[in-house]
């Protein structure tokens, strides 16, 4: 074998080893750092209604824990139907003054586990709550916010009791109701 061919084969082998090492490093870099799941607990609606009655105020208060449980319940119902390339394996949500931070463990194409953080701006556009993506990050890598979809949470708008307003407090959501004067 000529010297040039041996050098070419050696260069190709070195490039292959470097590419493999880079791929392994990238896989470990984007891997989730926090163990998350989609388990949730049901919300005690009766307790919420009794709390509302005790305060004598037609306002439903959803805590950060309630929001976590509601979103995880919805994600569990959706399963893999939303996007076949990305599967959500676990999540944790934080409310912070009009923003929802989603800590997500996802699997890309059934092969690459990724830990990501998406931040959504919350807004009330009657009769819906809109979650507009502001940022998406995988560790220190900023990705386009468009990778996360705008989500709309439909709130019931018909019936005797109507939603008057929604306020995004520091770590909770307050839903105010307009109750008609029956008498």
Alpha helices in 31-142 (DSSP H): 45-55, 64-78
User: How many C-beta neighbours within 10 Å does residue 62 have?
Assistant: 19
pLDDT in tens, 85-144: 888 899 999 999 899 999 999 998 888 999 999 999 999 888 888 999 999 999 888 988
pLDDT in tens, 44-66: 878 887 888 888 888 888 889 98
Max Cα-Cα span within the chain: 101
pLDDT of residue 178: 82
Euclidean distance between CA atoms 172 and 53, whole angstroms:
19
* pLDDT of amino acid 95: 94
Strand ranges of the sheet holding 59-63, from the earlier edge strand across to the other edge: 59-63, 172-178, 162-168
Cα 24 from Cα 112, distance rounded (Å): 11
């Amino acid at each position: 074998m000529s010297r040039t061919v041996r050098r070419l084969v050696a260069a190709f082998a070195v490039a292959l080893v470097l590419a493999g090492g880079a791929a392994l490093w990238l896989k470990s870099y984007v891997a989730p750092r926090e163990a998350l799941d989609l388990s949730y607990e049901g919300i005690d609606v009766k307790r919420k209604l009794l709390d509302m009655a005790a305060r004598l105020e037609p306002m439903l208060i959803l805590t950060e824990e309630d929001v976590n449980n509601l979103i995880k319940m919805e994600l569990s119902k959706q399963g893999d139907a939303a996007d076949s390339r990305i599967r959500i394996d676990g999540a944790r949500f934080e409310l912070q003054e009009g923003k929802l931070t989603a800590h997500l463990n996802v699997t890309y194409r059934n092969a690459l586990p990724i830990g990501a953080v998406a931040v959504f701006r919350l807004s009330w556009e009657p009769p819906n709550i809109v979650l507009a993506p502001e940022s998406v990050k995988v560790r220190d890598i900023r990705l386009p916010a468009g990778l996360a979809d705008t989500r709309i949470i439909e709130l019931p708008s018909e019936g005797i009791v109507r939603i008057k307003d929604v306020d995004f407090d520091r770590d909770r959501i307050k839903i105010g109701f307009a109750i008609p004067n029956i008498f």
